[in-house]
Amino acid sequence: MSQFLAKEGVKNLHKPGEKLITTHCCYCGMQCGMHIRVNEKTIK
């Protein structure tokens, strides 16, 4: 697991069949950290 964790109080962190992937946004170049939700079966 990554060293970056979601903030406390964030709802819906855990959903069955999905996991959170830590990544960054590449839109403006500041590389803001974010989490994306990925379905473990379809990898989407």
Task: For the chain, give every domain's residue range.
Answer: 16-44
* C-alpha span between 28 and 15 (Å, rounded): 30
Mean pLDDT (10-residue bins), the chain, 44 residues: 61 80 87 87 80
The pLDDT score that the predictor gives to residue 3 is 52
CA 14 from chain center: how many Å? Answer: 11
Q: How many Cα atoms are found within 13 Å in the side-chain-facing hemisphere of 18?
A: 12
The pLDDT score that the predictor gives to residue 21 is 85
